[in-house]
Amino acid sequence: MERKVVIPGEVIIEGEDYLPGEHTEKRNGQIISIRYGLAEEQNNLIKVIPLSGVYSPRRGNVVIGKVENINSNGWFVDIGSADSAFLSINEVPRYVNKDAMEEVFKIEDILIAKIWSIGKRGIDLSIKLRGLGKIDEGIIFKVNPHKVPRIIGKEGSMIKIIKDETGCDINIGQNGLILIKGPTIDSELYAKNAINFVAEKSFVNGLTEELTKWLKENKK
Amino acid sequence: MTAKFKRSDGREFDELRPIEAKVGVVPNADGSAMYKSGDTIAIAAVYGPRKMHPQHQQNPSKGQLRCDYNMISFSVSERIRPGKNRRSTEISEITKWALEPVLLLGMYPNQVVDIFIDIIQADAGTRCAGINAASLALAHAGIPMKEMVSSIAVGKLDKTLVTDLTKEEEDYEGGEGPTDIPISMTHDGKITHMQLDGKIGVEQLKDAVDLAKEACEKIYEIQKKALKDAIDMGNGEKK
């Protein structure tokens, strides 16, 4: 089956040979989509890849968030999902004085963290790995979280092109927030525009060539 | 079923006004849509699923839907006072009931999906335009749905059934007077909402539902096209 755009309630395929996967349902021998997105087949399993909507967190995602509240056990972080995430002091790789929590993260501080568990009670974050922690400088902007995989590319190929071309350090949160740190503001904006270009054209085949062309045309 | 009947704008008895639909008209929203039927224009924006506030309205067993229908003060020839009134509160609730049966909100406990519908120009059939726009916006926001919902008003002018009334026809005074029947249904023909303003016999009501079914089929095709057109597959043309 070829990839195609489907809408809720649309019959993707008929027949008993297929199994309903993510965001699909089986009704009277038909596989029906229950979400707007791209329908795809893999070994007779039909699934729909969502293209829009809010971010749905998954374990292992690296996200960028803003501290919105503090209690004596840690920090509440807004990562753009409906449930707010919690960063416990046990998941911070340094000594934390419980009377001076603000010394580590203040309210409104931006940080990059990894989701290490999602439970009934909420999302737990960790910054115990390298590259995670507080963000002090750079540009942050938001893209549609469903376009993040395309921006990163296969094994990071797409983002590597942008990094090499602009000389910027780019961190992508799975929740759609992107941090760019570069030598000059111009180079940062150049990288930002390149990422927005990829996000806009994310369904085009042969996007890598298009991107290389765009980068050449828009080089300052 | 229906005798030859001349409508003021020259349409056939079962002919819809020209329809336009587009998704993604409000960039800030999680999903949005515009639905235009003749001179009636509705814009719907969907936010969420997000945490329900106020907190005491949270439902830990499933997510909820909240609708807000509003007519912009310049949408009709005589300015209407902005803000909620008896009519808009009723239509907000009606819209919610029309859409709730198709939504699968079980996986969003303590959360809410907000729909804001604004009528920027009104020429009768605003609640139907609002429901059509909201259905598009919900799909665009990636909310899980069993089906799309399409909505249309069937009217009875004297003794004749007609589809998609305009304001002029709604104010028709001759014979038995005007009857307005807004109907919403899913693609497979299940009715999610039906209202009746006026009077009609049982047999004729069945005919009215059949007319609505035909019209909803046409609207569904337009909604489907609007959603599919929004994605650029890069085949040269916008697919």
Gap from A151 CA to chain B (nearest CA, Å): 16
A9–B140: do the CB atoms touch at under 8 Å?
no
Cβ-Cβ contacts under 8 Å for B54 (sequence gap 6 or more): none
Gap from B142 CA to chain A (nearest CA, Å): 5
A7–B227: do the CB atoms touch at under 8 Å?
yes
DSSP code of residue B105: -
Q: 3-class DSSP state for residue A110?
A: strand
DSSP code of residue B79: P
Q: β-strands A122-126, A85-88: how paired?
A: parallel
B223–A7: do the CB atoms touch at under 8 Å?
yes
B139–A37: do the CB atoms touch at under 8 Å?
no
Q: And the tokens for B160?
A: 């004749």
pLDDT digit string, tens, across residues B5-62: 678 888 988 999 999 999 999 999 999 999 999 999 999 999 989 999 999 999 999 9
Cβ-Cβ contacts under 8 Å for A219 (sequence gap 6 or more): A165, A190
In order of A3, B74, B230, the CA distances from A42 in angstroms are 11, 52, 25
Contacts of A5 in chain B (CB under 8 A): 227-228, 231, 233, 239
Cβ burial A31-42 (10 Å sphere, 16+ → b, else e): bbbbbbbbbbbe
Q: And the tokens for A98?
A: 């419980």
Q: What is this model's ipTM?
A: 0.87
Contact B126, B119 (CB under 8 A): yes
Nearest CA-CA partner of B220 in B95, B94, B144, B135: B135
Contact B80, B70 (CB under 8 A): no
Domain ranges of chain A: 4-50, 62-134, 139-217
- A181 in contact with B at a CB cutoff of 8 Å? no
DSSP code of residue A93: S
Distance CA B73, CA A214 (A): 45
**CATH classification (class only), A4-50:** mainly beta
State which amino acid sits at residue B109. Answer: P
B148–A9: do the CB atoms touch at under 8 Å?
yes
Gap from B207 CA to chain A (nearest CA, Å): 26
Q: 3-class DSSP state for residue B39?
A: coil
Q: CATH 3.40.50.1970: does it fit domain A139-217? A: no
Q: 3-class DSSP state for residue B144?
A: coil
Distance CA A72, CA A59 (A): 25
| Residue of chain B nearest A144, judged by CA positions | B30
Name every residue in B having a CB less than 8 A away from some CB of A: 30-31, 48-51, 102, 104, 108, 110-111, 139-148, 186-188, 223-224, 227-228, 231-234, 239
Distance CA B58, CA B61 (A): 9
Contacts of B30 in chain A (CB under 8 A): 52-54
Q: And the tokens for A64?
A: 């960028």
Q: How would you write the pLDDT of chain A (220 residues) with one tens digit per residue? A: 788 899 999 999 998 889 999 999 999 999 999 999 999 999 999 999 898 889 989 999 999 999 999 999 999 999 988 888 999 999 999 888 988 899 999 999 999 999 999 988 889 999 999 889 999 999 999 998 999 998 998 899 999 999 999 999 999 999 999 999 999 999 999 999 999 999 888 877 888 888 999 998 888 6
Comparing A4-50 with A62-134, is the CATH topology the same? yes
Nearest CA-CA partner of A211 in B14, A196, B232, A55: A196
| Residue of A53, A206, A207 with shortest CB distance to B30 | A53
Mean pLDDT of B219-227: 96
Name all domains of chain B by residue range, CATH numbers in brackets: 19-228 (3.30.230.70)
Query: How would DSSP label each residue in A136-157?
Result: -SSEEEE--GGGHHHHH-GGGH
Contacts of B101 in chain A (CB under 8 A): none
The CATH superfamily label for domain A62-134 reads Nucleic acid-binding proteins (2.40.50.140)
Q: β-strands A24-27, A30-33: how paired?
A: antiparallel
Distance CA B49, CA B101 (A): 17
Cα angle B76, B78, B82 (rounded to 5 degrees) comes to 75
In order of B4, B20, B58, the CA distances from B55 in angstroms are 57, 39, 5
- pTM of the predicted structure, to 2 decimals: 0.90
State which amino acid sits at residue B232. Answer: D
A54–B49: do the CB atoms touch at under 8 Å?
yes
pLDDT digit string, tens, across residues A176-209: 999 999 999 999 999 999 999 998 888 778 888 8
